[in-house]
Amino acid sequence: MAGKYYNLDNMLKPKSVAIIGASQSPEKVGHIIMQNYLNVGYSGEIYPVNVSSTGTILGKKSYKSVLDVKKPIDLAVIAIPAKFVADALEECGKAKVKSVIIVSSGFSEVGDSELQEKLVSIAKKYSLPVLGPNCLGVMDLRSRVDTMFLPTFKIDKPSIGGVSFASQSGAVGSTVLDLISHENFGLSKFISYGNAAVIDEADILNYLGHDPDTKVIIFYIEGVKRGKEFIEVAREVTKLKPVIIIKGGITPAGSSAAHSHTASLAGSYQAYEAVFEQFGFIQAKSLDEMLYYAKIFEAQPLTTKKRVAVITNGGGVGVLAADSLYLNGLEMATLSKESEKILRKAMPPIVNMSMPMDMAGDADDKRFGTAIDVFSKDPNVDALMIISLFQTPGADSRVASTIIKYGTESEKPIVVVSPGGNYAEVHNNMMESSGVPVYPSPEDASKALAALIKYSEYRERHSKSG
């Protein structure tokens, strides 16, 4: 432990892993975890451990106990029935294993607090960083570590990127990982921590806050174990990078469900909300919002200014955009005279120079490119919302390519609104995989921009105050 907080390097960047409960049986959790390590190309040493095994498991020499390995072990993953876990953890301590993940369930979440306390006692005795129990564990795409016991064919793995995601719930975690891949932005690390018996929210937030590969943190929590320490970490981390948080258990029914799920003390949502607001967390009310916020923070620059220019090839959606900006506390930009002059020459007479600028249904890549170029340089414009309706005659792959060009080079935030079916989705995937955030509606895009600006204001305020 570094100070008050555990360092998770040995879990996320281990040079050697023991899998306790590794098995030849494909339906066993230990088999799936070991197979995942082999599938992702993990380059460190793998030691399968199974008390009844002899010979090899999945081509690797197997051991009856971690004590038999006789080599340094950075991480042990325990995937055996709950009643055997304490003995396995004791052996990890004696073998000087550097960190442990317990994916096994059957502890305080089902009312067996005594068994969980036994794990805590052993962890303290050996100063062992222990994640779980009742969790999926970790995934680090750079170090090719994957303790998740989910068959790889059931979940799309995201590409490598700057967003790290921590989740108290394994089910929420696996779902969001799938969605991150679908939304085409990149993942750095995933941490599922379950019952938080030893390593808790404060440890994880502190670690990700100082992790150079993490640009944006997403956090799903049901409760916080060490409130004072969590606040202490939050105060520091939110000055360094954005933390998007979604709280489970905000109603009495949800709070009760959270307790039966991870034995979490969900507490008063009003108290949590006050802390989130005070320390600059970006609060999401749904999984969709969480993802929409994450992708703008990963790819777009911060700004404290609120004047948004709207370019559209459909007038009605432009009107909706104007409403959405206003309702989210943003402003419609007013073009400079110089910009109006340039655009008036470039655009056909049917295009009105007012905001939102409707370039008409036949707008092609040249029209989009001219408008984006002019708006990007206009000193009266702080951010751009580009509405590209791919159902119209002029919108095709060339429009998407033009948006990508400016969206990846601009010093101003750019968001794209592109609702639609299969044809639109193909082009949305093109843009998003290039780092341009795409939203299904002006409301979603406006919320994301508002979150970006609110956090930028928080960062600026606290950088000035020291």
Which residues of the chain are in CATH 3.40.50.720 domains?
1-134
Task: Please answer whether residues 305 and 382 qualify as being in contact, where contact means their C-beta atoms are separated by less than 8 angstroms.
Answer: yes
Distance separating alpha carbons of residues 331 and 324, to the nearest angstrom: 10
Model pLDDT, residue 151: 63
Which amino acid type is present at position 10?
Answer: N
Q: What single DSSP character describes residue 310? A: E
Which amino acid type is present at position 463?
Answer: S
* Assigned CATH topology for domain 155-299: Rossmann fold (3.40.50)
Q: Which CATH number fits domain 302-463: 3.40.50.261, 2.30.30.40, 3.10.20.90, 3.20.20.60?
A: 3.40.50.261
Model pLDDT, residue 119: 98
Burial of residue 15 (CB within 10 Å: 0-12, 13-18, 19+) is middle
Distance separating alpha carbons of residues 168 and 14, to the nearest angstrom: 22
Rg for the chain (alpha carbons), in Å?
Answer: 25
Q: Inter-axis angle of helices 82-94 and 113-125, to 10 degrees? A: 10
Hey, which residues does 54 pair with through a beta bridge?
Answer: none
The yes-or-no verdict on residue 424 having pLDDT over 70 is: yes
Prediction pTM value: 0.91
Confidence of residue 262 (pLDDT cuts 50, 70, 90): very low
Confidence of residue 270 (pLDDT cuts 50, 70, 90): confident
Contacts of residue 36, defined as CB under 8 A and 6 or more positions apart, other chains included, come to 146, 147, 148, 149, 152
Query: Nearest to residue 29, comparing CAs of 130, 148, 195?
Result: 148
Task: Please answer whether residues 303 and 452 qualify as being in contact, where contact means their C-beta atoms are separated by less than 8 angstroms.
Answer: yes
* DSSP output for 126-137: TT--EE-SSS-E
In this structure, whether the domain defined by 1-134 belongs to CATH 1.10.1740.10 is answered with: no
Mean pLDDT of 82-110: 97
Task: Please answer whether residues 143 and 171 qualify as being in contact, where contact means their C-beta atoms are separated by less than 8 angstroms.
Answer: no
57-66, 253-262, 299-308, 311-320: the lowest-pLDDT one: 253-262
Which residues of the chain are in CATH 3.40.50.261 domains?
155-299, 302-463
The yes-or-no verdict on residue 35 having pLDDT over 90 is: yes
The yes-or-no verdict on residue 283 having pLDDT over 90 is: yes
Name residue, tokens 């060339």. 398
CA distances from 112 to 109, 116, 131 (A): 7, 7, 17
Which amino acid type is present at position 380?
Answer: N
Model pLDDT, residue 465: 64
The yes-or-no verdict on residue 266 having pLDDT over 70 is: no
Distance separating alpha carbons of residues 456 and 158, to the nearest angstrom: 27
Hey, which residues does 246 pair with through a beta bridge?
Answer: 220
The yes-or-no verdict on residue 252 having pLDDT over 70 is: no
Cα dihedral across residues 95, 99, 103, 105: positive or negative: positive
Which amino acid type is present at position 206?
Answer: N
Distance separating alpha carbons of residues 69 and 75, to the nearest angstrom: 13
Model pLDDT, residue 267: 59
Mean pLDDT of 317-328: 97
Per-residue model confidence as pLDDT tens digits over 139-187: 999 999 999 887 666 777 789 999 999 999 988 988 888 888 888 889 9
Pairing of strands 56-57, 60-61: antiparallel
Distance separating alpha carbons of residues 26 and 151, to the nearest angstrom: 10
Task: Please answer whether residues 407 and 416 qualify as being in contact, where contact means their C-beta atoms are separated by less than 8 angstroms.
Answer: yes
Mean pLDDT of 397-414: 96
Query: Nearest to residue 462, comparing CAs of 235, 309, 258, 253?
Result: 235
